[in-house]
Amino acid sequence: MPGTHNGGKRRQGSGEVVALLTRLAELEEEQAAATRQENELARQRTETTSNLALYSSRTAENAEKQTGMAQERTALTREQTRLSTRSAELANIRTELAHERTLQTEERTRLATQRTEMARRRTSFAEWRTHLAERRNDLAQERTLWAVTRTRLSLQRTELAKGRTSLALIRTGLAFLTLGVSLFRYFGVSMWTLFDAALMLFSTLLIYFGVVGYRRAKTIENKLMAMLAGDRGKLDLIPAGGKYRNHGIRS
């Protein structure tokens, strides 16, 4: 079977080609990796060279700094010597200042004693001022109480005046009623009877309004007396007839 034999050879050749291509691709990848590694080594070598150059530059700078620091140390030694001399001078000045401070401390102690004495006097004045303030508050409260009592007495006086007015209405009504009854009894039933009836009706209205007003004034007066009874005895002495009399109002 020659066709079958040729087909097998052809497939075998194709497999070898694929294997070669695969191997070629692997070799190319390895070569690319080697190239990348070579580039990385070149970069590291460049960085190392740069670091060495930087280190050399810094070493030179440090040498210069050490030289400058040596010069500065010499200058500082000279300055230290000068400062030591100045320190001795300052010690003498400090001793003198300590002596002056001692004197000032004694003066401060004397002033503190005087201040303590003045604080005691100020405390005494503050206590006296507090006492005066308390007394002033008591007087203000008493004055307020007197004002409230005076206001209530004014209201009571007003209501008493209203009561007197109501009593005057009752008295006038009674007078008109008496006049109407007298005229009716004197003239009898006549042309004046209508006037007598109107007069008696008017007198009756006067008596009614007078009684209502008097009762209202009396009720308000009783309420005011009840309030005045709680004014802490400020109304225990009320002027009456030129003298003071006790109304029996409890404090």
pLDDT in tens, the chain (251 residues): 555 555 566 666 677 888 888 888 888 888 888 888 888 888 888 888 888 888 878 887 887 888 888 888 888 888 888 888 888 888 889 898 998 899 999 999 999 999 999 999 999 999 999 999 999 999 998 888 888 888 878 887 888 888 888 888 888 888 888 888 887 777 777 677 788 788 888 888 988 998 998 888 888 888 878 877 765 545 444 444 434 334 433 33
How far, rounded to the nearest angstrom, does the alpha carbon of residue 65 sit from its chain's CA centroid? 62
Dist. CA 17–CA 7, nearest whole Å:
15
Residue 2 has what pLDDT? 52
Burial of 202 (0-12, 13-18, 19+ CB in 10 A): middle
Threshold 0.85, pTM exceeds: no
240: Cα within 13 Å, side-chain hemisphere: 8
The closest alpha carbon to 177, from 150, 159, 161, 201, belongs to 201
d(CA 6, CA 12): 10
Give the C-alpha separation, 251 to 248, whole Å. 9
Q: 193-228 and 2-187 are packed helices; what angle lies between their axes, rounded to 10 degrees?
A: 120
- What is the pLDDT, as a whole number, of residue 245? 39
Enumerate the β-bridge partners of residue 223.
none
Query: What is the pLDDT, as a whole number, of residue 233?
Result: 47
Contact assessment for residue 198 and residue 177, using Cβ atoms and an 8 Å cutoff: no
User: What pLDDT was estimated at residue 9?
Assistant: 62
The DSSP 8-state label assigned to residue 240 in this structure reads E
CA distance 92 to 94: 5
C-alpha of 7 from chain center: 106
| pLDDT recorded at residue 53 | 80
Beta bridge partners of 237: 246
CA angle 119, 124, 129 (to 5 degrees): 120
Task: Report the relative pairing of strands 243-246 and 237-240 from DSSP bridges.
Answer: antiparallel
* Residues making up the chain, counted from first to last: 251
- Dist. CA 117–CA 226, nearest whole Å: 56
Q: What is the pLDDT of residue 237?
A: 42
